[in-house]
Structure 1
Amino acid sequence: MTDLVRYHVEARTGVGFPLKAGQLLTIIDPQGEQSGDLVAFGEADKAEWLSSGRSIDYNETIYLTTGHVLYSNRSTPMFTIVEDTVGKHDFLFAPCSLEMFQRSYGIQGDHPSCFDNLAKNLASFGITGDMLPTPFNFFMNASILPSGAITIAPPLSRPGSFVRLRAEMDLIVGISACSAPGCNNGTCKPIDVEITGKIGA
């Protein structure tokens, strides 16, 4: 594969970019135990977006990994997970937001969040915060207990761990390095992103 584009997403920041059908998107945890958020929209029609509900429904699991397809709200394949060295991600939680930090942690004043990072970096593509769906929370280690409670443990990712997805349609993608220390074993760290492959491959 020939590297086309690389992004280094600093801790508590985000990035937005186009991704063409057939290109490979590799999300890398350079330091380990760092999660992040992935959202996607159809490049031709932003009203088509990555759907947690459709993806969980059609794959019949909440734990999506190698071989699973991520679908849009219109039931169109958006991504195929072609390689995954971690194997545990979340597709249930909304992006962390200022309101979440205030409600759940009692934080006063401003605080970086995945919601703000995604909205800021996707604004130039005509995507607003109100359009953001439930993200694919890569490397986030959430588990559902028999009681229905959800627990969050440190990510299983280690330095160099990655998940690689193939775009199945032309997309606008947003990625945020998670700003919630509780999801990342107490510290917030960067995420690396690589885009490889020929357009339309």
Structure 2
Amino acid sequence: MVVMELTRVLVPAREGRAVRVSAGQLIRVSTPEGAQVGDFFAFCASDPVEHLSAAHTRGHTSRLFPVPGEPFVTDRRRPILTLTDDTSPGRHDMLIAACDPARYELLGHHGWHASCAENLKAAMRELEVDVTTVPQPVNFFMDIPVTADDVIEWRSSPAAPGDAVTLRAELDCFVVVSACPQDLVDVNGMRPGPLEIEILDK
């Protein structure tokens, strides 16, 4: 099988980028420097109101996170992407909401702070699509285990430099990746870094 790279997009630290992907294409998201969380969103190109839903995906797979070969589904319960490969330690999250201005204010930050919620809206505006509600993201490379006492733990990402996840688009969609700017809670090693998006065809 020959895989051809069509597009490579650098997502700078603390920023977000959006790309349009056709059904059948592959999307690879990697952490060049390691330990960087990527908030990942997807919207149907034909109707961006329909989006990747973490809650519906958990119900569909009966897992907290899909394993390779399993799909992510939309809020209309249609497969939109399938996880095909994961070279990271496999620690990802679908429980934690995207960081936003209110989150940083509650953490004691004063003044403006970059956030994944704002990154999503700005990236989609570049594609001339208006997003009014921020869905629950898929947080690639984010290690948030649930303990036996049902407590959520916040851990630094264990992803090594170059670790990546690959997904196959099942529908034409808009994909957004935000290099999470969180530097008040240790999920990025307290040092946000870049991510990379590759669109591949086969």
Q: Secondary structure at the match of 1:193?
A: strand
**2:188 maps to 1:184:** yes
1:196 equivalent in structure 2: 200
**1:1-201 superposed matches below 5 A:** 1-86=3-88, 87-103=90-106, 105-181=107-183, 182-197=186-201
Runs of 4+ in 1 over 6 A off after TM superposition: none
Aligned length: 197
> What TM-score, normalized to structure 1?
0.94
- Within 1, Cα distance between the matches of 2:199 and 2:191? 26
CA distance in 2, matches of 1:92, 1:67: 21
Give unpaired runs (5+ residues) of structure 2.
Answer: none
Aligned partners of 2:49, 2:100: CA distance in 1, in Å?
Answer: 22
Which residue identity is paired with 2:104?
F
Q: Write 1 or 2 for the structure with the bigger share of helix.
A: 1
Once structures 1 and 2 are overlaid, which stretch shifts more, 61-70 or 108-117?
A: 61-70
SS at match of 1:152: coil
Calculate the TM-score normalised by the size of structure 2. 0.94
Contact residue 10 and residue 191 of structure 1 kept, 8 A: yes
Q: What is the rounded CA distance, in whole Å, between the counterparts of 1:159 and 1:124 in structure 2?
A: 29
Aligned-residue RMSD, C-alpha: 1.2
| SS, match of residue 144 in structure 1 | coil
- Identity score, percent: 32
- Any stretches of 5+ residues in structure 1 without a counterpart? none
Shift of 1:64: 2.3
